[in-house]
Structure formats: C-alpha cells, structure tokens
Structure 1
Amino acid sequence: MDYGATVIALKKSLKNGKVVDVVLGFDALSDYVDSYSLPSAPYFGATVGRFAGRIANATFDLNGKSIVLHQNNSGNALHGGIAGFSQKLWRLEQLKTDKNPSVSFSYRSPAGEELYPGELKVSVTYTLTEESELEIEYKATTNEPTVVNLTHHSYFNLEGQHSSVLKQELHIDAYEILETIDMIPTGKMLPVQSTESDYTAPKPCPEVIDTTFVIKAKESLAATLLSKENNLKMEVYTNQPGLHVYVGGNCFTQIKGKENASYHSQSGICFETQNFPDAPNHPNFPSAILLPGDIYFHKTIYKFQSF
C-alpha cells in the first residue's frame, strides 16, 4: 500500500496445497496508523528512512557542520525520526502485471524534513519473480550532501499469523557483529565464534535478538529461515554491508493482527538489510553520505522454497 510503501501481505503456496501469509500486518489502514502510537512501534512491512537504525544523540557532522535531528528514541534518532518514511504517503508510479509483476512507489522528502539536510527523491520497486522471490530495489538522489540508509521492515513467520518463530531455524552467514552499548554501535566489530550470536550453523530463532551482523560478500546468501513444520525456507540476499536481525511484533493486546491474531514479542523476525546504524558517526563504517549527482542503490531479495 502507498502508506509507508508497505508490504501488507506475502502469500506462499506450500507443497500440500496450503497457502501461508508469511508477513505480519493488519487488516485496516487505521491499524497501521495507530500502531505508531504503541509503546514500541512495530513498523510492520514498512519502508524505513531517511535513516534506518539509530543515530546516536540524534547528531552527526557533515562537511564540518553539526546536524541535529529530532530525537525519538531515548535521546537518539531512530528509523528516520518522529514521522519517518514509514508514515508518509508515497506516490504510486507504476504497476506491472506481467509474468514478473511489480509495483513502484516514489517519495520526495523535502530539505529539513526531520531536520535532515537536502531534498531526497526516493523510489522503491517491489517485484515478484518466477523464482518465488520478493525483490526490493531502492534508489535515491539528493540536491545537496545528506545521509541515507533505507531498509525493509517486514516481520516474517513461515508458519503464519498465530505462532511464534522460536521453532524455526535461523542461519546467518556472518562472522562478526557490531558491538553496541545501549543499542548504539561503539565502532568495533566482534567475532561471533563461541557466542550466542553465532548463527553460522543453523539453530532455533532466539527469544530476544536486536543485533547488526556484518555481511562480507555482497549479493550472496546472507541469511536463511527454515520452517520444518511447513517445509518452507526463506533465503535473504542483499548488496548492503549490514543485516540487522530483530525478533518481535508485540502489539501489547491493543491492536489485533491479521486473522484476528494477537501478536507478541516472538511473533516474527525482521531481516533489515542496510548500512550500519550510526554510520555517520563512525569513519570506519561504510559511508552513508549521498552527494548530488550520485545514486543510492539498495537491492534485497527474499527467496522462498517449498519442499
């Protein structure tokens, strides 16, 4: 839908003929709007920007100038600010219904929105391929130096709306994570070997995770989610350096989900492909700066296989 350029449903047919909706969400637009007033907004299926993740103290330096953003998360800026791209009305640009159906949206973020510098013109295209993939492509341009970091925020559950993800197996092809203090990166990268963050071999999804993994090989397999219950596998591919993994979905019994589901804190798992959180404040992180004349390009694929 055009509110937040949001994925509201993603249905996959199984070998047994059953169809499962593998992303969390709501039945009504009003519920999506109201969800941003929950104690912790879930951002179900949304396009997140202008900057996904946290920026420490809502400040960073750009070309020698201190940029001060709106604070919306314990003194930090999170997911674009008080009303980021996920709460904006995007413009429908194109709808294709051929063998690889796709939909494209655009949004013009004026200079100064959420106090970010520069006008940012953004597009996102969702494509369903014949290989059972959801392909997402983002592009952005600016008229003056700014920072940009976009991501997709679906919560996946390969068993539908009413279960948890705790019995589904998670594999992450990453050997380092970002060290954080109070959810803010320190600038260091830590090895996952012999830690609870080691998913180089598949193991059940954790009850709690909110971690950025360092992806070394661009556009190769970054992560896999497997349901033995539904004999369904999802693979994640991206050209981004980071994969932020988050288990959640809690709606605090205030809003019912699709199929009248009561979403809880293990209802779904997010695979937020992106640059590193707080990248503008860490010179050793991949640059999040976008300059006039350059094009920000981000591609992520979620691929499904029923067996």
Structure 2
Amino acid sequence: MIRSLFKFGLLSLFAVCGLGCGREPGPPSSPNPGFTETADLTTPSNSASKEADMNKTASVTREKLNAEVDGKPLEQFVLTNKNGLRAVVLNWGGTLASVETPDRNGKFDNIVCSFSPDNERFLKNPPYFGVTCGRYGNRIAKGKFTLDGTEYTLATNNGGNHLHGGVKAFDKYIWNAEPVQGEGFAGVKLTLVSPDGDEGYPGTLTSVVTYKLTDKNELRIEYSATTDKATPLNLTNHGYWNLKGARAETGTVLDHVMHLNCDSYIAVDDESIPTGKLTAVKDDSPMDFTKAKPIGQDLGKLTNDPQGYDHCWVINGGGDSTKEPVLAAEVREPSTGRVMRVLTTEPGVQFYTGNYLPGTPDVHGFAKHGGFCLETQKFPDSPNQLSFPSCILKPGETYRQVTVHVFGVE
C-alpha cells in the first residue's frame, strides 16, 4: 500500500529531484585549464576561508519523508562533502535521486534526472531513473536460463524477455538503510534480502549497496552480495545524467562530448538480445568513441527504432573485481565545463541515450535524449551466453563490484 507521496519534509524532493535545485555560485573555481579531479571546487581564495574549509567534514543527514510503501517509511539520505557537492539517495529502490555539482563559474545544479514527488509515476518509475537494478540488470532472453541442469523461468517484462530483474525487482522495494561515515566521506549503506524464487531466481540473496560521497569529489557505489544457492547476479545503477542540469529546459545530451575506453561492443538483434558476437568499434564508426566526440554526431547512422544508443561496450582492462576500478567513460559538457569520469571493476558498460523519454509532463518534461546512462555491469544475457564471462554467484562466494563517478570542471 502506498500512502501520501506529496507532502515531504523540509528538504523536500522538490529540491533534490531537479525542480529548482540550482544553488547560488560559490567563489570561482580554479583558473587552471583542464579537468579538476580532486581540488576543492568552491574554496575561496582568502586564507581564513581556506582554513575554515579544511576543518569541514563530509556529512550525511537522514530524513523520513511523509510517505510509506507497504507500511515502511520512505527515507532520503543527503550526502554532502567538504566542497559543497551533494548527493541524495532514497531507500526506495536504492535510488540515486540527485547529484549537485558546480559548473565552471561555481554555480551548483542537479545533474541526475528524476521524477518530482507529486508525479503519479514517482514509485512506478518506468524509465528506471536512478534505481539499483537487480537481480539482473539488462536483458535475459525469453526470461529463461539453465543452471546446473535446471531450467529457470523468470518474469518477462520487456516483450518476451526479462529486463532489470523483472516485474517487482530490486527497484520496487524499500531497502534497509543506515548512514555511514569515515575519513573523507559520507554515505549510506543499503541492504536487501531477496528470497528464494524471487521473480523466478534461485537462492536467497543478500545484497548490499553503499553510496559514498568523498572529499575528492567522487561518488563511489560499492556492491556486495552472498547467496545460499547458485544464481545469476548483475547489479547496476540506472542513473540518467545531464551535465547541463537535469531540467526540461536544458534539452538533450546530444552535444555532450564522450570518450569510451572500449575497443569493442556486443552486437544485438532487433530485441536488444546479444548475438554472442563482439564487434570491433573500428569496423562500425557510429559505435566508435575511442576518440571523444559529441554523443549525437553519428546518431543518424544508427538503424534501431527508436533511434539512439542502447548497447553494451566491452571495457578495456575491465572485469576484475580484485583490482582497482579502470576508466570506462569520460563525458564533457562544453557550455558548463562539467566533466564526469566513470571508473569500474565491471567488464561492460551499457550506454543508453534515453531513447524512450517522450518529453511529456508525466515524465518530468525530459525530452527524448534528455539524459544518458552509463550502466556498469556484466554482459547482457550472460546466463545464456557461454562465451561471456560468468555472472553466476555461488554459495560461499562474495559478489563485489565498485563503480566510481568523479566530478570536475574545465
């Protein structure tokens, strides 16, 4: 049962979900050209202010909102670092609802697309704005797979295929949540127990997702999970980004300039199911982002319907959770100077350009291509693709994944 969604607390989601969350500019950021990765983007030049800022610490506040789902309260966790960057995470769906960063002039704005709370689609969230996808992000063909000689049938919610964990997947639950804090970061730890048979998957699975906003202007998302039966697992965040500011009037992301650290991508059929073939990007120019280019530069050469990117690229050097995250993507927005780097331990990144956003009021006014996703993940349909890296988590093992978003200006 869903109760009142519309009268939230003092720090309402009207502020954090893109409806007027621009902030007054702080002092100018560093005049040095290039990407500012770890600098304090808002520190004034006078020494007294610098000394005061050195004493700042990252903080997290927990707020109950005036809403319940199945008798459990909806909560938001506001993470703030010493430089003034702010991220908002909801216990509903493990959702990243807002990230506020400065532009080159020091003006803060939210760069994550999300629904306003008075929207009747706020809980249903058909575009999956900012949610944690699970058990299996992306698609599994025909909603079926065979594991250890047993065929499993999953819920089908994308034509005849299984998408992002099914009908009532991880994005449709209240997660247990608790604030966490350490040296140089503030965060929230989210835990969800998925029972044996949930959406057709075997095994009782315990998943933990921890968001950390660091004083190095990083948003770290750390995933872990354990199971009592072998099961496919592919957790990812489905955040939509618009570095101009996530508002209707900012338009599309097609002028954002992107580089992918990927020499190949996974070929798919007309239902976006992998064919099993990896294709070199040099043989398919619209898919080649090895040299940075505007996202929309080659859009007209794509033949899918609706037109746009929705493919998984293979990350060079990726796929080893025992090592440090490697670069997956770097995106620049020329008019604001904002830059975002994405690093991960995962083997793939699903790049999606919001092809199904119709730009109508019931989806918060975001136009088609009004946001882009960089979903770090295992390869789609891996349970049925023997040539792909394994996605199976077994009893006694611990699933681990780390994805880092690094924010800067130039």
Question: Normalization by structure 2: what TM-score?
Answer: 0.70
Judge conservation of contact 2:357–2:363 (CA < 8 Å) in 1.
Answer: no
The alpha carbon displacement at 1:217 in A equals 1.2
Q: CA RMSD in A?
A: 1.5
Q: Which has the higher contact order (CA 8 A, sep 6+)?
A: 1
Is residue 2:97 matched to residue 1:8?
yes
Tell me how far apart the structure 2 counterparts of residues 185 and 20 of structure 1 sit (CA, whole Å): 37
The alpha carbon displacement at 1:212 in A equals 0.4
Is residue 2:234 matched to residue 1:234?
no
Tell me how far apart the structure 2 counterparts of residues 14 and 174 of structure 1 sit (CA, whole Å): 28
The alpha carbon displacement at 1:32 in A equals 2.1
Higher mean alpha-carbon deviation, 16-25 vs 51-60, is at 16-25
The alpha carbon displacement at 1:130 in A equals 1.4
Write out aligned runs for 1:37-186 (5 A). Answer: 41-96=126-181, 99-160=184-245, 161=247, 162-182=250-270, 183-186=272-275
Which of residues 374, 380, 390 in structure 2 aligns to 1:271?
374
**What is the letter of the counterpart of residue 8 of structure 1?**
A
The alpha carbon displacement at 1:170 in A equals 1.0
Task: Report the CA distance shift for 1:18/1:97 in structure 2 as closer, same or farther (over 3 A).
Answer: farther
**What is the letter of the counterpart of residue 306 of structure 1?**
V
- What residue is the counterpart of 1:222 in the other structure? 328
Q: 1:215-242, CA deviations, whole angstroms, 9 ceiling, x for partnerless residues? A: 1313221111101100111001000001
- What residue is the counterpart of 1:243 in the other structure? 349
The alpha carbon displacement at 1:14 in A equals 2.5
Tell me how far apart the structure 1 counterparts of residues 362 and 263 of structure 2 sit (CA, whole Å): 38
Q: 1:44-80, CA deviations, whole angstroms, 9 ceiling, x for partnerless residues? A: 0100000001000100000011011111111110000
Task: Report the CA distance shift for 1:92/1:25 in structure 2 as closer, same or farther (over 3 A).
Answer: same
Bigger Rg over Cα: 2
- What residue is the counterpart of 1:203 in the other structure? 293
Q: 1:8-67, CA deviations, whole angstroms, 9 ceiling, x for partnerless residues? A: 1000022312112111012217542143xxxxx210010000000100010000001101
**What is the letter of the counterpart of residue 205 of structure 1?**
I
Identity %: 37
- For the residue of structure 1 that corresponds to 2:122, the secondary structure is helix
Higher mean alpha-carbon deviation, 248-257 vs 78-87, is at 248-257
- What residue is the counterpart of 1:38 in the other structure? none
The alpha carbon displacement at 1:251 in A equals 5.1
The alpha carbon displacement at 1:163 in A equals 2.1
- For the residue of structure 1 that corresponds to 2:362, the secondary structure is coil
List gaps (5 residues or longer) in structure 2.
Answer: 1-89, 300-307, 319-324
Judge conservation of contact 2:344–2:404 (CA < 8 Å) in 1.
Answer: yes
Judge conservation of contact 2:251–2:367 (CA < 8 Å) in 1.
Answer: no
Tell me how far apart the structure 2 counterparts of residues 2 and 252 of structure 1 sit (CA, whole Å): 27
Question: Normalization by structure 1: what TM-score?
Answer: 0.93
Tell me how far apart the structure 2 counterparts of residues 144 and 90 of structure 1 sit (CA, whole Å): 22
- What residue is the counterpart of 1:33 in the other structure? 123
Aligned residues: 298
Higher mean alpha-carbon deviation, 47-56 vs 185-194, is at 185-194
Q: 1:245-284, CA deviations, whole angstroms, 9 ceiling, x for partnerless residues? A: 0001615514253xxxx11211100000000000000111
Task: Report the CA distance shift for 1:256/1:76 in structure 2 as closer, same or farther (over 3 A).
Answer: closer
Tell me how far apart the structure 2 counterparts of residues 154 and 228 of structure 1 sit (CA, whole Å): 21
